[in-house]
Structure 1
Amino acid sequence: MSTTDGGRLTTHVLDTASGKPAAGLSISLFKVSGNSHRKVKTVVTNSDGRCDEPLLAGHAFQAGQYELVFSAGAYFRATGLALPEPMFLDEVPIRFGMSEEKHYHVPLLISPYGYSTYRGS
């Protein structure tokens, strides 16, 4: 089965403070069920701020509740920005549901002091 069949989950991260893709940012994906979080995988963004493969695709894709945790603090520390400790944003969790076998794209626009997300295409 190719990643264009059935459902798939993708993401990318843009650093709005620098106006560039957030390369080298660690992202953990969790399957959420009630109070339980089961880690599915951890990936690191490439030079384009994207993952090299979908986070879920094919047989691995299942409807349900998920959470992406973006390690924004570690990313911003690695850029050398002078930031206060504790940082305003460190780990950024985004919890969302997938109810259909479709493409779900969950991008993150991030700066040291704010973020936004949306369901992309």
Structure 2
Amino acid sequence: MSGGRITTHVLDTSRGKPAADLQVELWLIEHTEGSAEGRTLLRTAATNEDGRLNDPLLDSDEMLAAVYEIVFCAGDYFRDERRRHILEAEPVFDRIPIRFYASDANAHYHIPLLVAPGGYSTYRGS
């Protein structure tokens, strides 16, 4: 079986188009008994013109069965001068954290985001 990976894509539902140049962060969430939660930043990337990343956020050689969090920098995306015209006010959601458990290090976890200045949704894609 091939190794797992974590991927994403972002669609700007306010424009009906892919969200290009949206910054994405991938964090590893570590829980140790008796200690506070630990977070390790694994990767940052920006979406391309198709709203996708050029490479997986995490690929098979780094993939662990673990809790991960993808943080989408939606506020910065909507405040960009190229998109300010669609805002009636400040975007409601500045950073959108999606935390998920990757139970199988050999599986593909595709976590897409549908985003607009006033809302978002996600699901486990394929």
The aligned residue for residue 20 of structure 1 is: 17
The aligned residue for residue 84 of structure 2 is: 80
Higher-strand-fraction structure: 1
- Give the direction of change, closer, same or farther, for the CA distance of 1:41–1:94 in structure 2 (3 Å limit): same
The aligned residue for residue 65 of structure 2 is: 63
Aligned: 1:114 with 2:111 = no
> With structure 2 as the length reference, what TM-score do the two structures score?
0.88
The aligned residue for residue 103 of structure 2 is: 99
Tell me whether 46-55 or 73-82 shows the greater mean CA deviation. 73-82
For residues 45 and 89 of structure 1, the distance between their equivalents in structure 2, rounded to whole angstroms, comes to 18
Runs of 4+ in 1 over 6 A off after TM superposition: none
For residues 88 and 76 of structure 1, the distance between their equivalents in structure 2, rounded to whole angstroms, comes to 10
For residues 89 and 58 of structure 1, the distance between their equivalents in structure 2, rounded to whole angstroms, comes to 31
Which has more radius of gyration? 2
Q: Work out which of the residue numbers 6, 11, 29 in structure 2 matches 1:9.
A: 6
Letter in 2 for 1:56: L
> With structure 1 as the length reference, what TM-score do the two structures score?
0.92
- The count of corresponding residues between Structure 1 and Structure 2 is 117
Unmatched runs of 5 consecutive residues or more in structure 1:
none
Q: Percent identity?
A: 50
Letter in 1 for 2:20: A
The aligned residue for residue 94 of structure 2 is: 90
Unmatched runs of 5 consecutive residues or more in structure 2:
32-36
Q: CA RMSD in A?
A: 1.3
